Amino acid sequence: MRRVPALLAVLVLVLAGCTSHRRAEPEPAPPPDLTRPPAAVAVNPGPFEAGPYEAPSTGAYLGAWIKPDELTHAGRVQAVETLEEDLGRPLDIVNTYRRFDQLVGTESDHEFLDQGATLMVSWATGDNRSITAGEHDRLIKQQAKAIRKLDEPVLLRIRWEMDRPNLRATMWSGADYIAAYRHIRTIFAEQQVRNVSWVWCPTAEGFIRGDAPAFYPGDDQVDWTCVDVYAGNVFQPIGLLMGPFLHWAAQHPKPIVIGEFGVAKAWGSEGRAAWLADAGRTFKANPQIKAVVYFESNPSGNGPNQQFRLAGDQPAFKAFTRLTKDPYFNP
């Protein structure tokens, strides 16, 4: 009978060990440095040759990707119009994602252009070695003609976030990506496409790791440098998250577009609001940044650490609204 308490104690410890991995998503308070003036890095003063989509002389353009309720042309237009109404201003840039075989020039593309926005096309090109081998030349020519037909400046992100480890099977290496990027540019030139500003956009994590620069095609191939930066699994000030990129970008005479930025639901309304306020200050402290594009989406199947939609989170959305109404982001 004396063994019963001991057995119960062991059982409690075993059960505790079985359930210890089921911890709730963390919601830490914002670090104190979110309220401190952001640090500015050395910036390249320009002038910048940004291609057909020229950088503003002062301030920065503002844009977003807004995930529609329905992936239809009407759904995409409605999603953008709803956000613009809530913000009380139009977007300068509308980000849109395309598979390799999806051509630009849809009904919603034309609607956004008619409303005065600029398209940032995030094009998920395929296997780099098959591109360089010419296996997709026909498709690339079709896309080149479709973009040329728009007759409006387009920001084109060729396989954004190419430095992600989970894309290595199709990216192969930095050299392979560069070869494919140059191959695509050659075909666009042959098709006399003159309305594309070429955007190179890795991840902030790739610069923290140190492997992103190996994918850079060169100043002669890129019009805008770019970075995607999130407070998702790690909650730190945006200036710290993208600091290595900003130091690298200062060595290149290119304007910067923040291709995607967002702060996850997991960090709570007050934390998100503080992070967004800090983001606005950081963008303004680094005048090489000439455009910022928010990722207004909760991708399907993702947990709170990868949900970035601000609509419905009143404190966070108010902070974002203050950023968008700042004259600096209305050049």
Give pLDDT, residue 107. 97
Q: Are 152 and 113 in contact (CB under 8 A)?
A: yes
Give pLDDT, residue 33. 60
Residue 277 burial by Cβ neighbours in a 10 Å radius (0-12, 13-18, 19+): middle
Give pLDDT, residue 31. 53
What Rg do the C-alpha atoms of the chain give, in angstroms?
A: 22
Q: CB under 8 Å to 90, separation ≥6 — which residues?
A: 84, 115, 116, 117
pLDDT at 28 over 70: no
Give pLDDT, residue 23. 40
Per-position DSSP letters for 144-195, written without gaps between them: HHHHHHH-S-EEEEETTTTT-GGGHHHH--HHHHHHHHHHHHHHHHHTT--S
pLDDT tens column, 192-250? 999 999 999 999 999 999 999 999 999 999 999 999 999 999 999 999 999 999 999 99
Q: Are 297 and 67 in contact (CB under 8 A)?
A: yes
Domain boundaries, the chain: 29-326
Q: Which tops the pLDDT comparison, 23 or 137?
A: 137
Q: Three-state DSSP class for 199?
A: strand
Q: Side chain identity at 280, as an amino acid letter?
A: G
Does the bond joining 47 to the residue before it have cis omega, within 30 degrees of 0? yes
Q: What is the pTM of this model?
A: 0.89
- Lowest-confidence pick of 3-7, 98-102, 149-153, 244-248: 3-7
Give pLDDT, residue 2. 43
- Tell me the average pLDDT of the chain: 91
pLDDT at 16 over 70: no
Q: CB under 8 Å to 220, separation ≥6 — which residues?
A: none
- What is the mean pLDDT of the segment spanning 179-190? 98
Q: Are 43 and 238 in contact (CB under 8 A)?
A: no
Residue 316 C-alpha from the chain's centroid: 19
> Using CA atoms, how far apart are residues 225 and 258, in angstroms rounded to an integer?
9
Residue 188 C-alpha from the chain's centroid: 24
Confidence of residue 43 (pLDDT cuts 50, 70, 90): confident
pLDDT at 61 over 70: yes
- What is the mean pLDDT of the segment spanning 53-59? 96
Q: CB under 8 Å to 170, separation ≥6 — which residues?
A: 126, 127, 128
Confidence of residue 35 (pLDDT cuts 50, 70, 90): low
pLDDT tens column, 98-142? 999 999 999 999 999 999 999 999 999 999 999 999 999 999 999
Q: Which CATH class is domain 29-326?
A: alpha beta
Task: Classify 249 in phi/psi space as left (phi over 0), alpha (psi -120 to 50) or beta.
Answer: alpha
pLDDT tens column, 286-324? 999 999 999 999 999 999 999 999 999 999 999 999 999
Phi, psi of 46 (to 5 degrees): 85, -165
Q: CB under 8 Å to 160, separation ≥6 — which residues?
A: 122, 199, 201, 202, 226, 228, 259, 260
Q: CB under 8 Å to 151, separation ≥6 — which residues?
A: 195
- What is the mean pLDDT of the segment spanning 38-61? 86
Q: Are 291 and 227 in contact (CB under 8 A)?
A: no
Residue 114 C-alpha from the chain's centroid: 24
